[in-house]
Structure 1
C-alpha cells in the first residue's frame, strides 16, 4: 500500500519498504514505504496549500462533509475491521468495536460544527466593544500508536478537521493499513484533496521530520512517555502547540463494600481487553484484604475462561501481543516481579497449542515488590499485579506512588469513599463502579507523566484553535 497525499495514493519508487506483520501468524500482510524528509515535506506542503480553502469552508459544511465521511466508513466497516485485525492482532469483535468507536468520535465532532463560536464583550469603553475570535491553527501533525490505530486517530482528526485545520497523520509503522484506507474513504466522501494526508514511516525519521517541519503548527501525539518528552522538546523549538496522551499505570481499588461481581468483571475486561495493550488498562489492582478471597473467587475464573486465538477467529476473546519485542518485555517485567517476592496465581507464560504468533497467557501475580518493575513501569500486556490493602487511604497512597496519572477506578457503595477517591487519586479520569470506558462528552488527559492537554469533550477544540481578541470602536 502507498502513502495517501493530496487526495490520492502516491508511489515513491526506490524507497525502502516496511513489512506489516500479522501478529497471530507472523506472516507479511502488506508492505508500506518508509518516508523520508522529501515525502513528509510533500505531505505537509499539500496540507498547507489546502488549509485556506478548508478554513474558508463554512463550519456547518465542514460538519456535513465529515458526516458523509462517517457514512462512507460505516459502509466499509467490516472490511476495515478485518484489516485492523490482520495488522494489529486484536480479535475481530474488538476490531469492530474500535471502528464503531472511530465513527462515534468523528460523528460527535461533526455534530459540533454549528456550535463553534467566539465571544462578544460590550461596553469596553465609550463606543467600544470587544470580540473574542477563534481561528484554526493550520497544519496539524497527528502521530498515532499501534494499539488503537483508528480510535486514537479519531481523537485528533475530529476536532482538528471540524475547526478548520488540515492534517498529516503518521500511523505506527506496524499498523498503517487501516488508516490509509480510511483516508481514501474520507476523500471519496468529499473531503478536499490535501485536507487529510497519511505518511508511513519510522518515528525517529518520519516522525521527527514531521514534528520539526516549520509549517506544522500543532502536534497531537499518543504513545510512550519517553517519546512524548522527545516530541515536546522538538515542538518547543518552533513554539508549536502540543497535546500528549502518554503512558499509564492505572490503579483499580476494590473496597469491602463493593459489588464484587461487578468489580471482578470490570477488572477482567479492564486488564485483558486488547491483550492488555491499552493506555487506560487496569494495570494495578488493590483489594481490601477482608474481601480479597471472595473477590478472587469471582475474578480468577473469569480470567481462566478467556479464549486465546487468532483475531480472525470469531471464537477468540484475546489475541496475541502486537510484536515479539513486546512479548519479551512482558516476560522480563514478569520475571522481575516474581523475583521481588510476587506469587504467580495464574498464567505466566506462552500458551500451549499456539506455536505461531506472539501469544501470552493472561497472568495474575499476587503482591510483587512495591519497587518491582510490575509496580513501577507501564505493563503493556496481559499481566496484572494484585495487592491486599487495609484501608482506602492505604490504597490511594499506593495508587499515587506511580509517576503516571492517566486513569483510575474504584468500586464502592459509599458516596464518601467515592468522593475521597475522586478528589485524591492523581489521575485525569476516575471511574466509580464502572468499566473504564471513555466518553466523547468528557475531557480526557493525564496528570504527571501521563501527558499534557485534553482530548475529547468541548475542551479538545481549544487545543486546535487560536484565540484572538478584537477591539472595535464605532463612535
Structure 2
C-alpha cells in the first residue's frame, strides 16, 4: 500500500480510505493509494508554505545540487520505476524507460539553469534625480502541479523542475490512476536531501483533491496538464483569486506530407507520432494531409508500417519485426475512441486498417492501431481530440488546401510538415495555427524549447528557459539618491 509524502513524511490519508490502481492490460490491482481529503490537501499546502521562506533563500546552486543528488537516486532505480509505470499506465517497457530518461534530462536541464537566473539593470531618465532601475526575479510561493495519466513522469518534471529551481515549493497531485511511479520519484528526490515540505504529493480523485488544491488560498501558482474541459474548470476555480495559471490542454496535431517528401522518413515520423503510447499523447500526430500525387504510395507504406504493431502487455517483448503497442488506459477511454471512430464510419469513412478490439484481449483495454480514409472533416475524429490509436489520412491538392484543413480545428498545439521546399516550409511555419511546428521531424517535446499551444490547447509555456518566467515574479526596483 503506497502512501503520500507530506512535510517529508510518508502518511496515510485522514479518511483511511484507499483507491485501487489498476493495470490497464489485465484489470488487476497493482497497488492502492490513499484517497486524500481536503484536510490532507491543507496539510500538504501548509507544509509547502512553511518550507518556502528557507528554500527561497537557499543559494540557487545548492538547490540545483539537491536536485542532482535526487536524479542520481532516480537513475539507480530506473528499472523499478519503469516497471511501475508499465503496470499502472499500460505503455510498453521501452516507452516507459524513454519517458523516465526524458524526466531525468528535463530535471537536469533545469538544475543547470539554477545559477543562471538573472535580473536586469535599466538606466532611467534624470528629471527626478540620478537613479537607475533593477528588475529582480523573485519566487512566487506554493505551486500546485496537477499531472495527467498519459505521461505521469515527464509531465510532472516539466512543472517540478522549474518550480523548485526558481525557489518555489510544490504540491504534486498525480492522476488518480497513475500515482505510483510519480510518487516513487518524488520520494527519491526527497531522500536525496530536499528539505521537508519543499516537495509534497497528495493522491486521490481530481474533483475533490485537485479542485481543493487549486482553490486553496495559499496556492499562488497552478500548473495543469489535462483535457480542455478540465482546464476550463481550473480557470473557473483559480480565476477569482487571480492565481497564476498555465494550461497545457488537448491537441489535434496535423501533419502535412508534400510531393517532395522523403516518404519513408515521413511514414516513420507519423507511425511514432500517432501510435506511441497507444496514441494517448497531446502532441500525437492526429491528422495527416498528403499531397495527391504521393497519396497512394504514402498510404501503402503507412499501412505496411501499421501492420507491424502488435497489441499486448507492455512488459512482454514481441518477436521482431513486431512492435509492441499497449492498451488504452481505461475502459472509458477505449469506449470514447470507438464512439469517435463509429461517428466517422457512419458519415462515410472507411477503415483502411485495424478498427477492432483484438481477439483474445478482452481482459485489457486494447484496440488495434487504426487508419481511416475518406473521413468527413466535420466528423468527431477530426474536430475532437482522439486520445487513441486512430489516424485519419486525407488527400489534398496543394499547400493552401492542406493548411486550410489543418487549421480547421478548435485546437492549436503542434503541427508538422515533411518537405525540402523552403517556400512551403516558410508558409507552414507562418500560417499553421499551432504553438509548435516540426519540419521533417517527429512530434517531440524538447526540454530546450518552449512547449505550449494556441486556441483551445491552452496558454502559457512549459519547457525551455521560458518556463521559468511562469515561476517567478518580476519586481521593479528604483535606486536613487545618487547625486
In structure 1, the residue matched to 2:425 is: 418
Question: Counterparts of 1:409 and 1:367 in 2: how far apart (Å)?
Answer: 21
CA contact (8 A) 2:14 2:36 kept: no
**Partner-residue secondary structure (3-state), 1:427:** coil
- State whether structure 2 residue 35 is matched by structure 1 residue 28: no
- State whether structure 2 residue 302 is matched by structure 1 residue 314: no
Spell out, residue by residue over 1:394-437, the C-alpha distance to the aligned partner (whole angstroms, 9 max, x if none): 01000101000000011011011011000000000000000111
In structure 1, the residue matched to 2:73 is: 72
- State whether structure 2 residue 60 is matched by structure 1 residue 56: no
Q: TM-score, normalised by structure 2?
A: 0.97
Question: Counterparts of 2:283 and 2:122 in 1: how far apart (Å)?
Answer: 41
- State whether structure 2 residue 445 is matched by structure 1 residue 442: no
C-alpha displacement of 1:13: 5.7
Question: Counterparts of 2:386 and 2:124 in 1: how far apart (Å)?
Answer: 56
**Partner-residue secondary structure (3-state), 2:181:** helix
Distance 1:375 1:124, change over 3 A: same
In structure 2, the residue matched to 1:404 is: 411
Alignment of 1:173-212 (within 5 A): 173-212=176-215
- State whether structure 2 residue 95 is matched by structure 1 residue 94: yes
In structure 2, the residue matched to 1:110 is: 111
Question: Counterparts of 2:352 and 2:339 in 1: how far apart (Å)?
Answer: 17
CA contact (8 A) 1:93 1:314 kept: no
Alignment of 1:8-407 (within 5 A): 8-12=9-13, 14-125=15-126, 126-315=129-318, 317-407=324-414
CA contact (8 A) 1:427 1:447 kept: yes
Runs of at least 5 residues in structure 1 that lack an aligned partner in the other structure: none
CA contact (8 A) 2:14 2:39 kept: no
Question: Counterparts of 2:349 and 2:16 in 1: how far apart (Å)?
Answer: 48
Question: Counterparts of 1:19 and 1:10 in 2: how far apart (Å)?
Answer: 17
- State whether structure 2 residue 440 is matched by structure 1 residue 433: yes
CA contact (8 A) 1:124 1:130 kept: no
Aligned-residue RMSD, C-alpha: 0.9
In structure 2, the residue matched to 1:474 is: 481
Question: Counterparts of 1:261 and 1:342 in 2: how far apart (Å)?
Answer: 25
Question: Counterparts of 2:257 and 2:375 in 1: how far apart (Å)?
Answer: 18
**Partner-residue secondary structure (3-state), 1:463:** helix
Distance 1:444 1:13, change over 3 A: closer
CA contact (8 A) 2:3 2:10 kept: yes
CA contact (8 A) 2:287 2:382 kept: yes
CA contact (8 A) 1:8 1:184 kept: no
In structure 2, the residue matched to 1:7 is: 8
Question: Counterparts of 1:405 and 1:13 in 2: how far apart (Å)?
Answer: 41
Spell out, residue by residue over 1:238-257, the C-alpha distance to the aligned partner (whole angstroms, 9 max, x if none): 10000100000000010111
In structure 1, the residue matched to 2:464 is: 457
Kindly tell me the number of residue pairs found equivalent between the two proteins: 475
Spell out, residue by residue over 1:193-240, the C-alpha distance to the aligned partner (whole angstroms, 9 max, x if none): 101100001111111100000000000000000110110121111100
Question: Counterparts of 1:150 and 1:283 in 2: how far apart (Å)?
Answer: 23
C-alpha displacement of 1:123: 4.5
**Partner-residue secondary structure (3-state), 2:311:** coil
Q: Which runs of at least 4 in structure 1 moved beyond 6 Å after TM superposition?
A: none
Spell out, residue by residue over 1:326-370, the C-alpha distance to the aligned partner (whole angstroms, 9 max, x if none): 010111011001111101100011011323211000000002111
Question: Counterparts of 1:100 and 1:31 in 2: how far apart (Å)?
Answer: 26
Question: Counterparts of 2:256 and 2:366 in 1: how far apart (Å)?
Answer: 28
C-alpha displacement of 1:127: 2.7
Of residues 308-317 and 268-277 in structure 1, the stretch that sits farther from structure 2 once superposed is 308-317
